[in-house]
Amino acid sequence: MKIIADKTRCAGHARCAAVADQLFELDGNGYIAFQEKIVPAGAEESARRGVRACPERALKIATNDDGSQ
């Protein structure tokens, strides 16, 4: 499982990081700092909660190698 971030949609609300700061690193301006991130084993539910928290829908979960859900 991995998190895919569309940095062009991120508005810097930081709700993802408020839910799971260990998964959702932000840059110095509060915007998502990665495009793709592998979710460590055991952190899947935190990843899902963080993705759901994004009001801009800039994040998604990919479960397949091609980035699809």
Domain membership of residue 33 as a residue range: 2-62
Question: Strand ranges (DSSP E) for 16-65?
Answer: 36-38, 59-62
Q: How far apart are CA 5 and CA 58, in angstroms?
A: 6
- Across residues 47-68, what is the average pLDDT? 89
- Could you tell me the pLDDT band of residue 68, with boundaries at 50, 70 and 90? low
Number of residues assigned to the chain = 69
The residue whose two tokens read 């909660």 is 49
* Domain CATH for 55: 3.30.70.20
Residue 57 lies in a domain: yes
Tell me what pLDDT residue 14 has. Answer: 97
How many domains, in total, are found in the chain? 1
Strands 36-38 and 59-62: unpaired
Q: In a 3-state reduction of DSSP, which class is residue 31?
A: coil
Contact between 29 and 22 under an 8 Å Cβ cutoff? The reply is no
* pTM to 2 decimal places: 0.88
